[in-house]
């Protein structure tokens, strides 16, 4: 069994999201707490801008929960940068006992799963979870400096500029986390670092199938099944792989990377990055649960576990997918 069932489901008592201007201009723009129009966010570097976004997003989540830093038992966070410096330096400021996470773009859902386990296990009362990414910091680290203006293939995705944070608690009002399915690393030999969707799709499909088998549920139990950032190409592939395993999710399945931008914004295959599933979940999905649009959703954070070094050495791109069930009760 890869799926954990929470007898006393932890509650998401508050969430917050801050995004860049491109994300703010997208279809979900009104669901975010703040839109930043300056890619530097008043800082000297893009890396410092991302750190400010994560810090302020976490502070905003605490404010919405009516809590202070001293009320939080653990902070779980991560990002895409080497040695997760965004999360590390945010933790330096907040001073909360900190567990740094790296699951690539699956980090937000990994954090929610682990945070729920800490609370259910009796090790914490309140946990702060978050992740972030920035288009320009990710481009500089993983691909090419933005100043070079390299042409991107149509399979490439646009790294979301933004940060999302959620406060999980043993008690309170809000959506609850009832299950978590921890994914396995899956690698079918895809080595194109400009096609993250194809690299992550097999892991996402594996986690979805494992979750449905473990829970003995059919896809129609959920109002929505949503992956983190497979984009248009990866979504189609994941859907096909799940169908081969005997489940039809086509009428209730979408992807955060597809929802966050419109076709007119020309981001090619869609959005990606640690911030992608984080801001869509902490903004749009939380709002949709609270308004009654959705009652039960299965979210799968997806991550491509590559590094600049592994790509340069000709390695393939392993993928991971962690799932969390969020319900409004």
**pLDDT of 148 above 70:** no
> What's the full length of the chain, in residues?
329
| pLDDT single digits (tens) 257-293 | 999 999 899 898 789 999 999 999 999 999 999 999 9
pLDDT given at position 268: 80
User: Could you tell me the two tokens for 90?
Assistant: 């945010």
- Residue 44 CB coordination number (10 Å): 8
Query: Which residues does residue 165 pair with via DSSP β-bridges, in sequence order?
Result: 16, 130
| pLDDT single digits (tens) 110-122 | 999 999 999 999 9
Q: Report the distance separating Cα 39 and Cα 56, nearest Å.
A: 15
Task: Specify whether the CB–CB gap between 324 and 177 falls below 8 A.
Answer: yes
Interval 72-80 mean pLDDT: 98
**pLDDT of 154 above 70:** no
Q: Where are the beta strands (DSSP E) in the chain?
A: 3-5, 11-20, 34-36, 74-79, 98-100, 126-133, 158-159, 162-169, 176-181, 224-227, 253-255, 271-272, 296-304, 319-327
| pLDDT single digits (tens) 131-143 | 999 999 988 887 7
Mean residue pLDDT across the chain: 95
DSSP string computed for 122-181: TS-SEEEEEEEE-HHHHHHHHS--GGG-PPPPTT--EEP-EEEEEEEESS-SS-EEEEEE
What three-state secondary structure class fits 26? Answer: coil
Q: Where are the beta strands (DSSP E) in 171-313?
A: 176-181, 224-227, 253-255, 271-272, 296-304
- Beta-strand pair 74-79/126-133: parallel
User: Could you tell me the two tokens for 318?
Assistant: 């392993």
List the one residue out of 94, 83, 75 whose CA is nearest residue 47: 83
End-to-end Cα, the chain, rounded Å? 25
Q: Report the distance separating Cα 176 and Cα 171, nearest Å.
A: 10
* Predicted structure pTM score: 0.96
**pLDDT of 149 above 80:** no
| pLDDT single digits (tens) 209-265 | 999 999 999 999 999 999 999 999 999 999 999 999 999 999 999 999 999 999 899
Task: Specify whether the CB–CB gap between 77 and 90 falls below 8 A.
Answer: yes
């Amino acid at each position: 069994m890869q799926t954990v069932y929470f007898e006393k489901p932890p509650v998401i008592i508050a969430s917050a999201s801050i995004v860049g201007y491109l994300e703010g201009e997208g279809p979900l723009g009104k669901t975010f707490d703040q839109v930043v129009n300056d890619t530097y966010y008043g800082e000297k570097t893009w890396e410092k801008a991302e750190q400010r976004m994560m810090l302020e997003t976490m502070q905003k989540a605490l404010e919405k929960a009516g809590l202070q830093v001293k009320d939080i038992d653990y902070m779980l966070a991560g990002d895409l940068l080497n040695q997760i410096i965004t999360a590390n330096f945010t933790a330096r400021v907040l001073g909360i006992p900190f567990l740094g996470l790296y699951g690539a773009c699956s980090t937000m859902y990994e954090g929610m799963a682990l945070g729920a386990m800490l609370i259910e296990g009796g090790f914490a009362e309140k946990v702060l979870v978050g992740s972030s990414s920035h288009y320009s910091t990710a481009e500089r680290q993983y691909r090419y400096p933005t100043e070079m203006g390299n042409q991107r293939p149509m399979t490439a995705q646009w790294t979301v500029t933004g940060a999302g944070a959620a406060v999980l608690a043993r008690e309170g009002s809000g959506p609850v986390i009832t299950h978590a399915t921890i994914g396995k690393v899956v690698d079918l030999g895809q080595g194109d670092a400009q096609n993250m969707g194809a690299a992550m799709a097999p892991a996402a499909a594996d986690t979805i199938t494992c979750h449905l088998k473990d829970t003995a549920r059919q896809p129609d139990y959920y109002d929505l099944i949503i992956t983190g950032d497979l984009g248009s190409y990866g979504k189609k592939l994941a859907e096909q792989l799940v169908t081969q395993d005997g489940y039809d999710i086509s009428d209730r399945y979408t992807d955060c990377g597809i929802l966050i931008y419109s076709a007119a914004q020309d981001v090619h295959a869609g959005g990606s990055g640690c911030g992608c599933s984080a801001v869509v979940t902490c903004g749009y999905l939380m709002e949709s649960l609270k308004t009654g649009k959705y009652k039960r959703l299965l979210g799968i954070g997806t991550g491509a576990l590559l590094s600049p070094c592994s790509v340069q050495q000709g390695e393939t791109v392993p993928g991971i997918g962690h799932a969390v069930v969020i319900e409004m009760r």
